[in-house]
Amino acid sequence: MAHGAGTEHGHGAERGSDHGAGHGHGHGAGHGHSHGHADIDWAVMAPVLEQNAEVTAPVYREVAAWLRDLRAARAGGNPAADGGPADGDPSLIVDAGSGPGVVTCLFAEVFPKAQVIAADPEEALLARTVERAARLGLADRVRTHRAELPDGLGELPPADLVWAARSVHHVGDQVAALTALADRLAPGGTLAILEGGLAPRSLPRDFGIGRPGLQARLDAANEEWFARMRADLPGAKEAREDWAELLTAAGLRHVATRSFLVDLPAPLEDAARDHIVTTFGRYRDLAADAENPILDPDDRATLDRLLDPQDPESLHRRTDLFLLTAHTVHVAVREA
């Protein structure tokens, strides 16, 4: 049963948290304090996830507007002409794998009539969601529910919108996860998953130190980390990540895909700069991983310089820093 701000949720093995540099896959570099690649210390990751979602909040608003329009179109309404979005507005939203609840709360703001349930296995993240909802005056409409996909959602009432951002790829059996998410939909309900997109870019190809093309090599290291993370998940199964096909196989129809650009040009505001510093810090953790020898000593030295606030070439001081990435959202509908 979902519960209100601040309550229970049993507990479970702190299965760690993402690592996370990335926005691209939604997964990031490095695995912090983990023991296996699938062991991510999500409590440690909470501020990183918050920063990531906050810096890119305008994009989530665009996603929400798109979801509203799609739902309104299916309901036969016209939000623009009606002067209101009522036809597209869900009354119950489940955010599955909600992390610290930044997007949970953003959806509660964008859909002011909706009840929103944040579902996640990690108590520490649910607790942050509760705090955030209270801080934003949303406690009466945001609840939390401890659940680990593919199980744990069955107690929830059927939802008009199920949102799962970068959480399905943390489940060993992604097909089972999608089936469980699809099963939670009310007739006519929409499942939206954020998976894939483009890896972030923050520096020019040649940024004056080290060998040009560092970020492409970081991507390669990140991919290695990601593959190991997935292989180490309990019940890990390979699945061809054709999300449209997987959503259809889960019994859903009317699949649509759209990518949303995150485009923060230089010069960056402090929050975005901090986020990039954090991201590169996690890349350096990844580079320090003895199992992941992809980065050569020159690249590691470059990362050290980028992360040294005293260095004039550091991320903290550079004027050429930007954030460019894309998030891909796949949606599908449970036919009424």
Ligand X SMILES: C[S@@+](CC[C@H](N)C(=O)[O-])C[C@H]1O[C@@H](n2cnc3c(N)ncnc32)[C@H](O)[C@@H]1O
> Which residues bind to ligand X, rule: CB under 6 A?
18, 26, 42, 49, 53, 96-99, 102-103, 120-122, 125, 148-149, 165-167, 170-171
Which residue lies nearer to ligand X by CB, 167 or 292?
Answer: 167
Which residue lies nearer to ligand X by CB, 151 or 296?
Answer: 151
Distances in whole angstroms, Cα of residue 324 to Cα of each of 19, 22, 314: 20, 12, 19
- How many other CB atoms are found less than 10 A from the CB of residue 61? 15
* Beta strands, E only, the chain: 92-96, 115-120, 142-146, 159-165, 185-201, 253-264, 323-333
Q: How far apart are CA 20 and CA 46, in angstroms?
A: 10
Which residue lies nearer to ligand X by CB, 39 or 148?
Answer: 148
Which residue lies nearer to ligand X by CB, 124 or 315?
Answer: 124
Cβ 89 to ligand X, closest distance in Å?
Answer: 21
Sign of CA dihedral 87, 55, 52, 245: positive
Cβ 120 to ligand X, closest distance in Å?
Answer: 5
Cβ 264 to ligand X, closest distance in Å?
Answer: 17
Cβ 105 to ligand X, closest distance in Å?
Answer: 11
Which residue lies nearer to ligand X by CB, 93 or 149?
Answer: 149
Q: Could you give the 3-state DSSP secondary structure of residue 143?
A: strand
With a CB cutoff of 8 Å and minimum separation 6, the contacts of 197 are 23, 24, 25, 26, 259, 325, 326, 327, 328
Give the rounded distance of the alpha carbon of 76 from its chain centre: 31
Q: Report the candidate in 180, 174, 326 with the shortest Cα–Cα distance to residue 257.
A: 326
Q: Report the candidate in 190, 322, 332 with the shortest Cα–Cα distance to residue 261.
A: 322
Cβ 136 to ligand X, closest distance in Å?
Answer: 16
Position with the least CB separation from ligand X: 99
Cβ 170 to ligand X, closest distance in Å?
Answer: 4
Which residue lies nearer to ligand X by CB, 92 or 306?
Answer: 92
Q: How far apart are CA 214 and CA 67, in angstroms?
A: 36
Which residue lies nearer to ligand X by CB, 124 or 306?
Answer: 124
The answer to whether 130 touches 6, Cβ cutoff 8 Å, is yes
Cβ 138 to ligand X, closest distance in Å?
Answer: 17
